[in-house]
Amino acid sequence: MPNIQSAKKIVRQDKKRKSRNDSYFGAIKGMMKSLLKSKGKGKKDEVKKTYSMIDKAAKRKVIHKNKAARLKSRVSRLAR
């Protein structure tokens, strides 16, 4: 455990950031699973939402832009 005040603050900030990032990862993973399960109904809306979530995560630097492109490619493959 850190003793210095600034180090304590960094630990608190890291906890917040981790929970925020984990929520993005979970949302993307859940949307991709739902795309796998739904085999034809309402795919366009789900694909749009998934694309949007992936783009937001990349914009906020939760995931790398190349990973975002790779995930979007996988989503488009699932949507076929």
Amino acid 42: pLDDT: 63
Structural domain containing residue 69: 5-79
Q: What is the pLDDT of residue 40?
A: 57
Number of domains in the chain: 1
The CA angle 56-72-77, to the nearest 5 degrees, is 155
Question: Which CATH number goes with the domain that contains 74?
Answer: 1.20.58.110
Q: What is the DSSP letter of 62?
A: S
**pLDDT per residue over 28-56, tens digit each?**
999 988 888 886 566 788 889 999 999 99
pLDDT score of 28: 93
Which pTM does this prediction carry? 0.80
